[in-house]
Amino acid sequence: MTALDTQGPTRREPAPAGSRTGGPGAPVKGRARTALRLLPLSPAIVLMAIFLAGPIGYALYGSLTNAALSGYRAANPDFVGLDNYTRLLSSGQFWESAWLTLLFVVASAVIGQNVLGMALALLLRSGPKRLGSVVSALVVMAWVLPEIVAAFTLYAFFSSEGTLNTALGWLGLDGPSWLILFPMLSVILANVWRGTAFSMMVYNAALAEVPPEITESAQIDGASALQRFSRITLPMIRRAIATNMMLTTLQTLGVFTLIWVMTGGGPGTKSSTLPVLAFQQAFKFAQVGYGTAIATVTLVIGAAFALVYVRVLKPEVD
């Protein structure tokens, strides 16, 4: 058995999973055996290579052309080198959109969803149990709803004749047209409404893992509730916080439907985050090459965050 174990060139340690001869096909040795074992992976690899890696490679190439949506330049785009990128980096609209994306991600995900999610997780533990389960069911429902339904619902809520302004009217206030005057605020609040459930569930699970003995002993030593939370609970769940920040950031970076339905990126481009701008450039202004360049930039930003997540946080693989 040990002889067999050392044969495999790719095997580092005789793990329990690999400590038997791998069933049938045992006579096949070395690389051939590894290849045979990896065979079931091939459908997944082929599918992901064509439809996942394919578009990414195509994005890198397409962003270097002047492809149009239709007509001559759609079928025969010219290679224009880095023109799209130089145009992009010198365009005020791109930088405005990049700033809006940053604002959207930081305000709605990093701050909004994370803080509200944490607050809810804490409230669920200290508030009345039955009320807590009702609230968490409602929050989760907003998250489970199809994105486009959530978008319609929030469009109605923030409309100038919508529920929010009706409620403000009861208080004698004249609410503005939120979607037109404050489009970013509207979509940020909408994304908090829609996405908080995820953070709430992550933090709820994380808080349940903190042993109560530790906070209790700190309490006996005279630590206030705030001190116990900031000095003991937060440091103990910092991994969950970092992971959640990363995942909500990546999720929010790709948000399209919510913004598209609520404001269409407008008025003008006042709420066009990068995914919305890429879509507008490609399909509204028929500049596929330029839109692809914007998409590529967004993808690179996302990839950087994903890389940090995988490399620094190192989720358990085995």
Partner 1 sequence: MTESTTQASRREPSGVAAMPGTVAPPVPSPAPPQLSSPTRKGTTLAAGAALVIVAVAFVVPLAWLLLASINPSATVSVTVPTSPTLQNYRTVLTPELTFTPLLNSLVISGTTALITVLVAVLAAYPLSRYKMRFNRSFLYTILFGSCLPITAVMVPVYALFVTLGLLDSVPGTILFLAATSLPMAVWMMKNFMDSVPISLEEAAWVDGASSMQALRRVVVPLMRPGLAVVFIFVFTQAWGNFFVPFVLLLDPAKQPAAVSIYTFFGTNGAIAYGQLAAFSVLYSVPVLVLYLLVQRLAGGSFALAGSVKG
Interaction with partner 1 in 187-226: which residues (CB under 8 A)? Answer: 193, 219-220, 222
Structure tokens at 290: 């330029």
Mark 32-71 with x for binding to partner 1 (rule: CB under 8 A) and - for no binding: --x--xxxxx-xxx-xx-xxx-xxx-xx--xx---x----
295 near partner 1, judged by CB under 8 A? yes
Amino acid, res. 307: L
Rounded Cα–Cα distance for residues 115 and 233 (Å) = 15
String of contacts with partner 1 for each residue 80-119, x by CB under 8 A: ------------------------------------x--x
Q: Which of residues 138-157 bind partner 1 (CB under 8 A)?
A: 138-142, 144-149, 152-157
Options 83-91, 107-115, 207-215, 303-311: segment touching partner 1 (CB under 8 A) = 303-311
* Of the residues 30, 81, 128, 176, which one makes contact with partner 1 according to CB under 8 A: 128
Among 180, 240, 256, 270, binds partner 1 (CB under 8 A): 256
Q: Are 117 and 200 in contact (CB under 8 A)?
A: yes
* One character per residue 163-192, x = contact with partner 1 (rule: CB under 8 A): x-xxx-------------------------
What is the DSSP track for 51-92?
IIIHHHHHHHHHTTB---SSSHHHHSPPB-TTHHHHHHHT-H
Using the structure block, give the residue that is written with the tokens 């970076």. Answer: 253
Nearest-approach distance from CB 185 to partner 1, in angstroms: 15
Residues 6+ apart with CB under 8 A from 234: 241
Bridge partners (DSSP) listed for residue 65? 79
- Helix 183-209 with 92-104: angle, nearest 10 deg: 40
